[in-house]
Amino acid sequence: MSYQEIIDKIKPELRNLVELLKEELMKIRASRVSAALIEDIEVEIEGSSVPLKGLGAISSLSARELTVQPWDKSYIEPIISSIERAGVGLTPVVDKDTIRLVSPSLTEETKKNLVRILNQKKEETFQDIRHLRDKTWKEIQEGFQKGEIREDDKFRGKDKLEEVVKEYKDEIEEIVERKIKEIEG
């Protein structure tokens, strides 16, 4: 196996890490609330756990307000208690058959806390990337030791690996910076 094949093998894993981070960041409330903030909250219905998005229609009324329109009125109470337990910072208000979720304005302290959480998630993703990089470099070295990869190619592989890792890290930095700007709005 060539060094390029070894590196190409980890690209989908790196892309997956970036996509997972994007999903996590969508759940962090910035100046605008999004359905992603609540859609995966698990709600206990008749002894089974169901994601909120499977119990009703979620829509955005404004930058600070979401609505949940349950398909069955009996879901209202379990949905409200699950949202409150999730601690997403939204205040549920029942309006006939609809649950309105109002988001308070972000305080400076809340903004700082959200930025800290963003940086923490970024670092966790970087750790995962470093782990993949180290594993791939080890695989390239093993290929060299078995005689499958020449010494020149081993070092080209290391340079190429660092280049690929840098691309993904730069993309992550950009994503996190955009989210920070959105929070600090």
| Domains, the chain, with CATH or none | 3-27+107-184 (1.10.132.20), 35-102 (3.30.1360.40)
Give me the chain's average pLDDT, please: 88
In this structure, the dihedral spanned by the alpha carbons of residues 148, 154, 159 and 161, taken in order and rounded to 10 degrees, is 40
Measuring CA to CA, how many Å separate 34 from each of 40, 85, 129? 12, 18, 28
The listed range with the strongest mean pLDDT (4-8, 86-90, 100-104) is 4-8
pLDDT > 80? residue 31: no
Q: Which of 14-23, 52-61, 91-100, 103-112 has the weakest average pLDDT?
A: 103-112
Q: What is the largest CA-CA distance in the chain?
A: 72
Give the model's pLDDT for residue 12: 95
One-letter-per-residue 3-state SS of 19-60 = HHHHHHHHCCCCCCCCHHHCCCCEEEECCEEEEHHHCEEEEE
Find the mean pLDDT for residues 50-61.
Answer: 87
Strand partners, 98: 95
pLDDT > 90? residue 132: yes
pLDDT > 70? residue 136: yes
pLDDT tens by residue, 145-162 = 999 999 999 999 999 999
* C-alpha 172, offset from chain centre: 11
